[in-house]
Structure 1
Amino acid sequence: MSQAQTEQQSGTYQAHFRVWRGDADAGELADFTVEVHEGEVVLDIVHRLQATQAPDLAVRWNCKAGKCGSCSAEINGRPRLMCMTRMSVFERTETLTITPLRAFPVVRDLVTDVSFNYAKAREIPSFVPPPELAPGEYRMQQEDVGRSQEFRKCIECFLCQDTCHVVRDHEENKAAFAGPRFLMRIAELDMHPLDAAPESGLDRKATAQDEHGLGYCNITKCCTEVCPENIKITDNALIPLKERAADRKYDPLVWLGNKIRRRTE
């Protein structure tokens, strides 16, 4: 029996990997041949690579269950979670290239500095509690809960941030653009029926447009395509937020109402 036939029966085979090795100054793709067993995911192979050939390979991971978002990387150029990418989706003869997230600075090997995202998170004004209600008195209709519950599934893997070309291809945009993950957060708060931001003088639609770069998004849906939680980021968060922001800024009746209000104040 040939080696190919033995591998076919046992489910075990040798796979060719190219893994980026280096740091912020320089690096290159290194070639490895690693054993693969039936049912394994890419992160399993990376762990075996560390155990058998490259003990100094840097990789970030935690839960190995697709819920912490730590093991984000690019596999054959596509942003993915390594723990949720099964080896069975690739041909056995295919070379798998694993590289760090391209939109963020490399720390070492597959580990990137994603602090950009935490800085953007701090720029988003938080939920404003309704002043007339005490904690424990909040009540919402299930329909309202359902509208924003989808966005709460986000595990902050930052794959959407990585694949967004506004961030990925234009470093100069980062200062003015929050990215899809945090524009989705603004959209969630803007549709929250208990958020008292308007009463406090905060217009989330205005800040999304003027401070967080909503206008940079041209709804290519690449963020939605890579989301491991299957959140419809573009259709359910960004497009509706754009529509509400446009109504506020460009609707002639709203514009006239604002003019009249200013004259009477």
Structure 2
Amino acid sequence: MTGSYPTTVQEIPTLSDLYSNGQISEPDAKWRPGKQYRHAEDLNKRISIWRGDMTKLKVDMIVNAANSSLLGGGGVDGAIHRAAGSDLLRECETLGGAETGETKVTKGYKLPARWVAHTVGPIYNSSRAERNAKQLESCYYTSLAHCAERGGGSIGFSSISTGVYGYPIKDATAIALETTRNFLEKDKSITRVIYVVFSARDEDVYKSLVGHYFPAPPSASNFDPGSSSGGAAGGAARGQE
């Protein structure tokens, strides 16, 4: 957790660090990802899972789980607006709101982050699960794209839609990880993606699934989703604020 001072990217361990220190075990064997991913050490060095305060994170961009008005709310949304100061609200008032799955960017103002990406996650409904998954994927993809358009660097994500919006945490985490993996395979400008989690439970979920999408080096684990025998075939896995 953080103190009163900003936390820099250099202070946060990468996924490679977590693997080498034995802080992540084999991924959840019951989870069925839709695709098998091979180990890529360069990608593992660009991923972090961090339990801390989003408003204290000194990165190029943080991602706010906003409501459609973009004018602030509860949880992380409210905390970001309070920490950034009134200038953030004034800029948000010029944006005209946003649709579900859409992302709009403002300056960070008093935050340590240079930019804030305000993304509107879906309110989960099991009868609209497929549509909700596409909307949540869009939240992550458009946020990453906005960061890349502004020169890349480091980006911190809140766990979008998994709080009062009710998105199942494992499904949402899988979408976050898979969308990031697919984006980073094509983009070199984003040097670090930090999944900022609030609770130990959410941290455990990220750590239990990350190995499916960003596998450990073969020497660190017998589990290799990219091998002909590793992993489990299955349907697409779709799936705190």
- TM-score with structure 1 length normalisation? 0.24
- TM-score with structure 2 length normalisation? 0.26
Which is greater in Rg?
A: 1
